[in-house]
Structure 1
């Protein structure tokens, strides 16, 4: 095969912290390379440097070996050198492009125009437009002939198996469907390489497997190479031809996916145990809660249809179900973001009860201050430090000394060791890994000292070892802060290990509620395939 990308002695520093150290490897034309590693290992930093985004490396080079047409500016894979340009017919010549050399800025733009990227957690869609309109916008961006654009957009939606959703409004799609629209938009650019940064981190296992298949099929059909980062071994197994494991910013091993995954999982264990919690009185009581809304495409939708349950103080209560079951809508009603259409939703604050179905500062407004929500689409303030994000950015005005102390205590609750907690206080979110940002967002919720914490897909972007850290942080927070957690998740292993009780939702209803073992035994074959099956 022919080398497309050469990475030479690549290093990246953020202040005194070295994120990447002496990275060397090649990517072949048409090859799919997986990059695996724990949160903070440098995966995203490496991918962005190779693609040419963000700031330049501290040292080293990223060299693209391409065939370039000087007539129209088209750039293609190196094996096309000596052939006629598919756009204008002139002969294409081999060119090596040092991507981060300031003198090559024009060639860098040409190369980047022929690559595409899917960012983690960011769907980057026009939410109020239809699916086919989102793809048409991507074709407009590359000046695709308008007379042919509709047919091309339809072909791309066929390719990602979304023809049955082309007239849906983008915001109404599931996470997996949105990610496939993103893929269609990126394929519209006709890239010779696609960069996918944790493309399925927040999706349930069944949907993730489908997206992995779409990615691999797209690479094969379009003769396209790919670089995929993940901390999930399944992504690398499903997609990659070759894999790299990063550890503390260095290449630990490069080779066959099975060999790399075996090294990544070596020594992985969870041996910490906890005493069974003594649960308190009810802190949340829901009776016949209903939420209906009007959809342009589907008419009147019963998102939540008469659910009844209670949550006790210090309980870890799980809500599970496949996409569309109503679990996210229910969690948003518990948090006070949306108002129930009917029923009762009462939260205990101190010695009294607050009716969440009633608006106003004495009712839902009062209770919301004691309910923390960490949504899977969380945001941090990008230009503020971690310390600022935890204190004054959310209106907590502490003296500096107390702010630092409180921040460190809370970061430890969210799974950071104390030394690491002190280390990251002055960093900005862009200098953290995705898993680290997620834990900072959890700390941002915990620092408000809520009575109830709602975690929406809390492990979606975390490697297996970090998941254990988060599990421990939740259990410590329960023991030390008398915290109550409501966990909305498709991660069956996590739910099995951490929850005292689980509610299984189907079609807006709770159809099973109780011990995790008993409820998980009620999953249908389809639900097991989509949501995964606990290994314990």
Structure 2
């Protein structure tokens, strides 16, 4: 405990914070003051420590091997113990009417776990690549459950409706959550977090897999709520434009240390200064390997009726081609790729995949039909998952049914990790690590390597760069281009990252409302979607 607060504007004071896993410092003597009401943008390469820093500030994970101090300077009600930001000190508690006074607590070393829990209840988090909602419940039911978890004792129905109005989602109140687009799901997450009445919002790559226009809606929601409700925000991103748009200050992490802290523009220039552009390399392609003709996928929703997720789509993909599918959230891209990979049976139409000399109908079930083709089609979904209690090498071999001798398994895994963007040394270093010991960006590349190790004929990548920094993205672009040049690999890539699509794709299909609006070279199609998504 600390008797006073040196600066009433400081909400969180981080002193000499270090986190060490197996002798490796993930955070290295980080010191930082977070002022009440500001928005700090945190940028850095995968593995720089961004996610770990947010998880320490959240204060819920006692298993993080952290040392140093994380001191929250708050206003605490003398009667009921409710926590408020320090600027509310000397005022009246909104819960019980008691008086609030300044109070400081070190959540790493404090002796009172009840105080730590009280502080943590006022800290909300939006996690990257996971929506954290109840998919089978309606939107308002999701928010009502969050209010119940937060112990809200007022009129929950009206409060839930108010929260949905704050995130501009009142028009989706009765929709089933799984039927929402990615951007709408993130706004449900934001409403659920606002139900906690947070004084601090930790946003960890909240829009990495959303198209620019949808991401902009989420960003504006966060900015407005921060201003209107006085919420302090820490947001991580690999995208410099997100930091520039959102932050009042920016922090550059490099190898667990603060390399720079200052104006967003200055920090972004320091981060992107060493990133070289990658030019798309043309390569000859073969005959068609995938044929799609008049494909339909219809869903029925009680409140929305018939939804045409895929609406009469036709196209072909050539062997050795890198084919992109782009469009806003909800355009039908994910439904289309799930049909292509045999994980979803369409309502109508034909999808054929060439295996050897034979054309396989993916719409026909059975071992000699869809079952024959599926092993040759690899999919990395944007909401991928790794087994948390298995090492990297186990995730890449045993967990997906590949039985290799140990020596061959390790060699194959290292080669696949290098294709996914790791250098040889790091590939060897992480063999025996668990997913929780890696950064989110590193986990994503392991998941990509897990697909590559199966040697598929066609690889479908759903938002492969959503959480990658520009340098890692450059490695992945070169890896995809090299895999195509060296072994003739065919890729279908779904992405909102227009720079990535421009660098890597031979052709691009622009989807809107379940239809393909335009198809052609990136330089022909991208201006259309860029104008629609800005």
Question: The TM-score by the shorter chain falls in which range?
Answer: over 0.9
Match of 1:136 in 2: 144
Q: In the superposition, relative to structure 1, how do residues 426 and 450 fare at CA in structure 2: closer, same or farther (>3 Å)?
A: same
Work out which of the residue numbers 119, 123, 126 in structure 2 matches 1:111: 119
Match of 2:364 in 1: 358
Secondary structure, aligned partner of 1:503: strand
Matched-pair contact (CA < 8 Å) for 2:180–2:330: no
| Cα distance between partner residues in 2 of 1:34 and 1:511 | 36
Matched-pair contact (CA < 8 Å) for 1:98–1:104: no
Shift of 1:143: 2.3
Match of 2:15 in 1: 8
| Cα distance between partner residues in 1 of 2:509 and 2:98 | 64
| Cα distance between partner residues in 2 of 1:104 and 1:279 | 65
Secondary structure, aligned partner of 1:218: helix
Shift of 1:90: 2.5
Match of 1:120 in 2: 128
Unaligned runs of 5+ in 2: 1-7
| Cα distance between partner residues in 1 of 2:510 and 2:280 | 26
Shift of 1:514: 2.1
Shift of 1:272: 6.7
Question: Does the alignment pair 1:241 with 2:257?
Answer: no
| Cα distance between partner residues in 2 of 1:232 and 1:504 | 23
Shift of 1:529: 4.5
Secondary structure, aligned partner of 2:493: strand
Shift of 1:530: 5.1
Match of 2:3 in 1: none
Matched-pair contact (CA < 8 Å) for 1:42–1:249: yes
Match of 1:44 in 2: 51
Q: In the superposition, relative to structure 1, how do residues 272 and 287 fare at CA in structure 2: closer, same or farther (>3 Å)?
A: closer
Shift of 1:53: 3.1
Work out which of the residue numbers 420, 430, 449 in structure 2 matches 1:443: 449
Deviations 1:354-395 (A, max 9, x none): 111110011001101100011101111111111111010111
Match of 2:530 in 1: 528
Match of 1:98 in 2: 106
Q: In the superposition, relative to structure 1, how do residues 125 and 271 fare at CA in structure 2: closer, same or farther (>3 Å)?
A: closer
Work out which of the residue numbers 161, 170, 177 in structure 2 matches 1:170: 177
Match of 1:160 in 2: 167
| Cα distance between partner residues in 1 of 2:260 and 2:203 | 20
Match of 1:191 in 2: 198
Q: In the superposition, relative to structure 1, how do residues 247 and 381 fare at CA in structure 2: closer, same or farther (>3 Å)?
A: same
Match of 2:330 in 1: 324
Matched-pair contact (CA < 8 Å) for 2:14–2:33: yes
Q: In the superposition, relative to structure 1, how do residues 96 and 309 fare at CA in structure 2: closer, same or farther (>3 Å)?
A: same
| Cα distance between partner residues in 2 of 1:322 and 1:223 | 31
Match of 1:71 in 2: 79
| Cα distance between partner residues in 2 of 1:34 and 1:489 | 24
Question: Does the alignment pair 1:378 with 2:380?
Answer: no
| Cα distance between partner residues in 1 of 2:158 and 2:219 | 25
Deviations 1:508-527 (A, max 9, x none): 22232222222234x1xxx4
Question: Does the alignment pair 1:421 with 2:423?
Answer: no
| Cα distance between partner residues in 1 of 2:238 and 2:329 | 23
Deviations 1:409-462 (A, max 9, x none): 000111111111111111111111111111111111111110000011111111
| Cα distance between partner residues in 2 of 1:271 and 1:202 | 21
1:287-298 counterparts in 2 under 5 A?
Answer: 287-298=293-304
Matched-pair contact (CA < 8 Å) for 1:492–1:531: no
Q: Which deviates the most, 264-273 or 382-391? A: 264-273
Q: In the superposition, relative to structure 1, how do residues 231 and 84 fare at CA in structure 2: closer, same or farther (>3 Å)?
A: same
Deviations 1:94-124 (A, max 9, x none): 2211101262312100100111111111211
Matched-pair contact (CA < 8 Å) for 1:380–1:429: yes
Match of 1:284 in 2: 290
Deviations 1:37-87 (A, max 9, x none): 111110000111111133244421101111212421201122333333222
Matched-pair contact (CA < 8 Å) for 1:389–1:444: yes
Secondary structure, aligned partner of 2:111: helix
Work out which of the residue numbers 229, 252, 255 in structure 2 matches 1:222: 229
What value does the CA root-mean-square deviation take over the aligned residues?
1.6
Shift of 1:298: 2.0
Match of 1:407 in 2: 413
Deviations 1:176-235 (A, max 9, x none): 111111111111111111111111111111111111110011111111111111111122
| Cα distance between partner residues in 2 of 1:511 and 1:88 | 58
Work out which of the residue numbers 182, 187, 206 in structure 1 matches 2:189: 182
Q: In the superposition, relative to structure 1, how do residues 301 and 81 fare at CA in structure 2: closer, same or farther (>3 Å)?
A: closer
Secondary structure, aligned partner of 2:455: coil
Shift of 1:14: 0.8
| Cα distance between partner residues in 2 of 1:83 and 1:273 | 60
Deviations 1:9-55 (A, max 9, x none): 01111102211101011011122111111111100001111111332
Secondary structure, aligned partner of 1:314: coil
Q: In the superposition, relative to structure 1, how do residues 32 and 273 fare at CA in structure 2: closer, same or farther (>3 Å)?
A: closer
| Cα distance between partner residues in 1 of 2:67 and 2:311 | 58
Unaligned runs of 5+ in 1: none
Question: Does the alignment pair 1:62 with 2:70?
Answer: yes
Task: Give the TM-score taking structure 2 as reference length.
Answer: 0.95
1:78-93 counterparts in 2 under 5 A?
Answer: 78-93=86-101
Question: Does the alignment pair 1:482 with 2:488?
Answer: yes
